[in-house]
């Protein structure tokens, strides 16, 4: 069990599949149910007790800067990236600002509704620094509307993660929410790289785990995905599956 005090929101991506909406707007600033996706992510970090957060920005960075300037909590440090560093490079650059213990990282376009307990608090409660380098929040692919391909991960009975083999379908999809141990983000490539490199390291050492979300998660890749999520929220048709 850990206490989350630091977090990061990844808000630098180009959002190409969300075009044309993202031609003039950063994807995390698209709105769902009256608030931007970025504000939804920061709201959930705040509710989990996170006091300091880093938000990175590249595409329409000035818009992202304006969006976080007015927030009182969590206290936000904006990380401008002149070169898009991808997920891993962005976290590595922010590492000096993310405290000494495990920290949360949330995709800027990840939108979820908590189940009986806040997802980030559930994750903090099960995160074991002695056994884990990373803990991912995953959802059952069968409950996701939209194209999720072959899925992302399989879990053993203890929650340890592995990737699907060739022609194997994976029942779980990564939800864009994670807790990382700082040492996982050291000794990393210079410049842009994907967090998948670090996941593979953790898988090889048996230290990548996942927790299955017990609430609602929205797959937000394309404009129809966003429209579908908004319609469901407006109609009150979303509820935890358990």
- Cα separation, 33 vs 234, in Å, equals 7
Residue 226 lies in a domain: yes
Residue 109 lies in a domain: yes
Residue 200 lies in a domain: yes
Q: Which of 140, 142, 149 is nearest to 115 (CA)?
A: 140
Report pLDDT for 148: 67
pLDDT tens for 59-108 read 999 999 999 998 899 999 999 999 999 999 999 999 999 999 999 999 99
Pairing assessment for the beta strands 134-140 and 208-212 based on DSSP bridges: parallel
The pTM of this model reads 0.93
Write out the residue range of the structural domain in which residue 166 sits. 6-235
Average pLDDT, the chain: 93
Residue 215 lies in a domain: yes
Report pLDDT for 88: 97
pLDDT of residue 241 exceeding 50, the answer is no
Residue 183 lies in a domain: yes
- Cα separation, 88 vs 221, in Å, equals 20
Total number of domains in the chain:
1
Residue 233 — pLDDT band, cuts 50, 70, 90? confident
The CATH number covering residue 102 comes to 3.90.550.10
β-pair partners for 77: 54
Residue 1 lies in a domain: no
**How many other C-beta atoms can be found within 10 angstroms of the C-beta atom of residue 242?**
9
Residue 171 lies in a domain: yes
pLDDT of residue 191 exceeding 70, the answer is yes
- ∠ CA 204-183-76, nearest 5°, is 125
């Amino acid at each position: 069990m850990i206490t989350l005090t630091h977090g990061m929101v990844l808000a630098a991506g180009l959002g190409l599949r969300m075009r044309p909406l993202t031609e003039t707007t950063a994807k995390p600033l698209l709105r769902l149910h009256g608030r931007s996706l970025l504000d939804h992510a920061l709201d959930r970090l705040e509710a989990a007790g996170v006091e300091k957060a880093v938000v990175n920005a590249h595409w329409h960075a000035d818009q992202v800067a304006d969006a976080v300037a007015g927030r009182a909590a969590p206290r936000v440090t904006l990380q401008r990236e002149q070169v898009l560093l991808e997920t891993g490079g962005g976290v590595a650059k922010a590492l000096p600002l993310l405290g000494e213990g495990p920290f949360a990282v949330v995709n800027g376009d990840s939108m979820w509704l908590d189940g009986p307990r806040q997802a980030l608090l559930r994750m903090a409660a099960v995160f074991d620094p002695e056994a884990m380098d990373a803990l991912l929040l995953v959802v059952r692919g069968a409950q996701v509307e939209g194209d999720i391909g072959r899925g992302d991960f399989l879990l053993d009975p203890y929650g340890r993660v592995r990737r699907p083999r060739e022609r194997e379908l994976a029942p779980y999809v990564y939800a864009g929410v994670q807790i990382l141990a700082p040492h996982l983000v050291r000794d990393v490539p210079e410049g842009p790289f994907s967090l998948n490199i670090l996941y593979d390291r953790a898988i090889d050492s048996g230290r990548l785990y996942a927790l299955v979300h017990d609430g609602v998660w929205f797959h937000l890749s394309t404009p129809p995905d966003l429209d579908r999520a908004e319609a469901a929220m407006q109609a009150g048709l979303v509820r935890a599956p358990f």
